[in-house]
Amino acid sequence: MTTTSRPYAADPASATVRGSHRSAPAMVAPVLAFVATVVAANVLTAVFGLVPVGFGLTATAGTAAAGVTLLARDWVHDVAGGPAVLVCIAAGALLSAGLAGPRLALASATAFAVSELADLAVYQPLRRRGLVRAVLASNAVGAPLDTIVFLTLAGLPVWAALPGQLWVKALTTAIPVAVVWTARAVLRHRLRPGGS
């Protein structure tokens, strides 16, 4: 298993995979991003409920933050491993219980835990073959599971909100992945002999 000092190395073959040992400072940013986006998703949903997201669809107000949370979860996996993800889920739930209410906190923690199991099955095996493929595949599985479990336990209309939730989560996943993919392509081109 190869380790690197960056969570997403330019060379996928040298990228860190789950369970690698990292220094505590390297774990701070992904852990804070994960917990903060969990709490933001729950607080926004508690305050604003369902909101229009275009194309006649609705989603919970925290859906965009929840989409970013799925990316942050993968980042935590890379730098700290699966147990750290579970600690982040618990921390996010505790903070959310105080800020957004116990029902949303329980729904969120359960949904993230269920999607985490799917992530373990999908992201980990694919991570060695590249970040973009692993993130897209794990989120394609994790996002619907997370959404259905969350909406059901939170007492929100599942089938009315599901299409909008999936649309926003797909968008909040695709944009950062496209940025990373583009940056890597540019970096590879510049590092290649004869590149400009």
Give the whole-number percent of the chain exceeding pLDDT 90.
Answer: 31
Report the pLDDT averaged over residues 117-128.
Answer: 78
Q: How far is CA 125 from CA 109, 138, 156, in A?
A: 24, 10, 34
pLDDT level of residue 10 (50, 70, 90 thresholds) = very low
For residue 21, the model assigns a pLDDT of 52
In the chain the domains, ranked by start, together with CATH numbers, are 15-191 (1.10.1760)
Which residues in the chain belong to E strands, given as ranges? Answer: 50-54, 57-60
* pLDDT at residue 17 is higher than 70: no
pLDDT tens per residue, range 65-93? 887 887 788 788 888 888 888 888 889 88
pLDDT at 195: 53
Whether pLDDT at 20 is above 80? no
pLDDT digits (tens, 9 = 90+) for 131-173: 778 777 877 888 888 899 999 999 999 999 999 999 998 888 7
Residue 94 to residue 157: CA distance in whole angstroms: 24
Mind listing the pLDDT tens digit for each residue in 30-61? 999 999 999 999 999 999 999 999 999 999 99
Between 20 and 129, the higher pLDDT residue: 129
Contacts of 33 (CB under 8 A, 6+ apart): 68, 72, 75
Higher-pLDDT residue of 92, 115: 92
Q: Using CA atoms, how far apart are residues 194 and 135, in angstroms rounded to an integer?
A: 31
